[in-house]
Amino acid sequence: MKLLSFFVVLMFFTTAARFCHATRSRFSGSREKVEVMKHLNRLNKPPVQSIKSPDGDIIDCVHISNQPAFDHPFLKNHTIQTRPNYRPNWINDDNIKVSSIKDPSKHESLSEKQETITQLWQLNGKCSKGTIPIRRTKKEDILRASSVKRYGKKSSFSTVAQPSSIDPDIINQNGHQHAIAYTEGQFYGAKATMNVWNPKVEQSNEFSLSQIWILGGSFASDLNSIEAGWQVSPDLYGDNNTRLFTYWTSDAYEATGCYNLMCSGFIQTNNEIAIGGSISPLSQFHGSQYDITILIWKDPEEGNWWMQFGNGKVLGYWPAKLFSYLADSASLIEWGGEVVNTASNGQHTTTQMGSGQFPDEGFSKASYFRNIQVVDESNSLKNPKDINTFTEQPNCYDVQMASNSNWGSHFYYGGPGQNPNCP
C-alpha cells in the first residue's frame, strides 16, 4: 500500500511538472510573439500608401513627421530640418546618376553614358512629397535575429577596423575582416564614389559590405560611428540583394543605433530613396562598371550630420544629440570593405568582399573607391593629406592605394576569402 501511495504521489508530481513545463513553454512562445508584434508595430508606421517592389519588398510611404526617428527620447520635441542650414557650394544639385565608367589609367573620359540610378521599388511607383519611403519590416525579418532587442543591430563585438592594434585573437573572436584606406585628424565629413557589386555570401549569418565610416572616440565602449554604403546581408533582409544602407552607434554597437530606420535616430527628409532598398544596376565582371557617390558632412550651425546620395539627393541627417564625440568632430575616417567570417566548417569563409577579386586585378574586375575626400574645419572638401591602408589578412582580402588626375586618391580592394593562400 505504501509503495502504491508512493507511485501515485510520484505520478502526480511528474504530471504536474510536465503540465507546468508545457504551460511555461506556451507562455514563453506567446510572450515572444507578443514582443515581435509590438516591435513590428513600433517600426511599421501607418502608411499614406504602399508600393510592392519587384524584389518582394513592400515600401510604405510614411508621413515625414511620423517616422521611427521621433520615438527616440532625445527627439520627442525635435523640429525637422527639411534641408541643411548651411549648404556648401561644393554640393551639387544634379540628378542622381550612376555612371558606366571607363578605365581611368587610359585617360579616357570617365563617363561613357549616364543612367538614372534606380531602386527596384521605384519601377512600381513613388512616394508623394511630405512622405518618406520605408522598407516594411516583416515578422520573418525579426525572427531571423538573435533576439527582438538585437534586430537591426550589428554584433556587440567591435566591427570597426583597428589599424593601430592588430590582435589575432580579436580577429578570430568576432570574425569581422576589413580591407580599407583610412586617415586620422580632425574632420567634419567625408566623400567617396564606389562601384557596386553583388558579392557571394556563404552563410546566412555572414555579410559583405562596402562603406564610409565617420568615427570618434576610442575603440572601447565610447565609440561613435556613422556609416553608409552598400551591403549584402541575408540575415538582415532575407535575400542576397545589394542594398543601400546606413548605420550609427554612440556606444560601440552595444545598445544604441541600428541599420537604416530599424530604430529611432536617423531623420529622413527625402521622398525618393528607400534606405535598405535594392540598388540597380550593378557592376559586371569584365563588363560595365556602375558606381554611387556618398557624402556625409556636418552642418556647422546645427551640428547635425547630413547624408547625400549621388550628386544631389540629400537623404536626411543624424542629429548631433545622438552622439558624444561626434557632437564635435570626427577623428578617424575609413573607406573600404568588411565581411563576417564565421569559419563554420573550420575553414575561412568563401564570402566575397567587393567583386570577389583581389585589387591587383584592376579596373572592371576589382572593386574600387575613387575620389576619396574629407571635409575640413572650414567646411571644404579636401584630399586627405595622409592616407594609409589596412587589412587583417591580405591573403584573403587586400587593398592597394593609387592616385591620378582622373580618380584623385583612390584604391582597389577586396578578395574571394577562402583560397589556397587563405585556408
Q: Which of 202, 206, 334, 338 is catalytic?
A: 338
- In tens, the pLDDT along 240-260 reads 999 999 999 999 999 999 999
Give the tens place of pLDDT for each residue, 323-364: 999 999 999 999 999 999 999 889 999 999 999 999 999 999
* Residue 50 lies inside a defined structural domain of this protein: yes
Q: Which of 202, 227, 334, 392 is catalytic?
A: 227
On whether the CB atoms of residues 96 and 309 are closer than 8 A, the answer is yes
Domain limits at 71? 43-414
What are the percentages of helix, strand and coil residues in the chain, rounded to 5? Answer: 20, 35, 45
Q: Which residues pair with 268 in a beta bridge?
A: 316
Q: Residue 93: is its pLDDT beyond 80?
A: no
Could you say which DSSP state residue 328 is in? T
DSSP-derived pairing of the beta strands 58-63 and 131-135 = antiparallel
At 144-189, the pLDDT tens digits run 998 999 999 987 665 788 886 555 455 555 789 999 999 999 999 9
User: Strand 97-101 relative to strand 290-298: parallel, antiparallel, unpaired?
Assistant: antiparallel
* Residue 8 confidence (pLDDT) above 90: no
pLDDT at 384: 95
Secondary structure of residue 159 in the 3-state scheme? coil
Instruction: Identify the residue with better confidence: 168 or 53.
Output: 53
Q: Is residue 21 part of a domain?
A: no
Q: Is 254 a catalytic residue?
A: no
Q: How many independent structural domains does the chain possess?
A: 1
What is the mean predicted confidence (pLDDT) over 130-134? Answer: 98
More confident residue, 67 or 112: 67
Residue 284 grid cell: 559586371
Asked if 223 and 160 touch (Cβ cutoff 8 Å), the reply is yes
| 11 in any annotated domain | no
Residue 29 included in any domain? no
End-to-end CA distance of the chain: 69
Per the domain annotation, does 17 fall within a domain? no
Kindly indicate the confidence band of residue 220, based on its pLDDT and cuts at 50, 70 and 90: confident
- How does residue 111 score in pLDDT terms, banded at 50, 70 and 90? very low
Q: How far is CA 150 from the centre of its chain?
A: 15
For residue 422, being part of any structural domain is answered with no
pLDDT digits (tens, 9 = 90+) for 277-315: 999 999 999 999 999 999 999 999 899 999 999 877 899
**Cβ proximity of 97 and 115 under 8 Å:** yes
- Alpha carbons within 13 angstroms on the beta-carbon side of residue 140 total 6
Nearest Cα residue to 278 out of 118, 43, 133, 61: 118
Confidence check: pLDDT of 403 > 50: yes
The one-letter amino acid code at 376 reads D
**Residues 134-153 as b or e (16 or more Cβ within 10 Å = b):** bbbbbeebbebbeeeeebbb
For residue 35, indicate whether it is catalytic. Answer: no
pLDDT band per the 50, 70, 90 thresholds, residue 191: very high
- Is 15 inside a domain boundary? no
pLDDT at 27: 29
pTM above 0.75, yes or no: yes
For residue range 258-286, list pLDDT tens digits in order: 999 999 999 999 999 999 999 999 999 99
pLDDT reading at 12 higher than 80 = no
Average pLDDT, the chain: 87
Within-domain flag for 31: no
CB–CB of 249/224 below 8 Å? yes
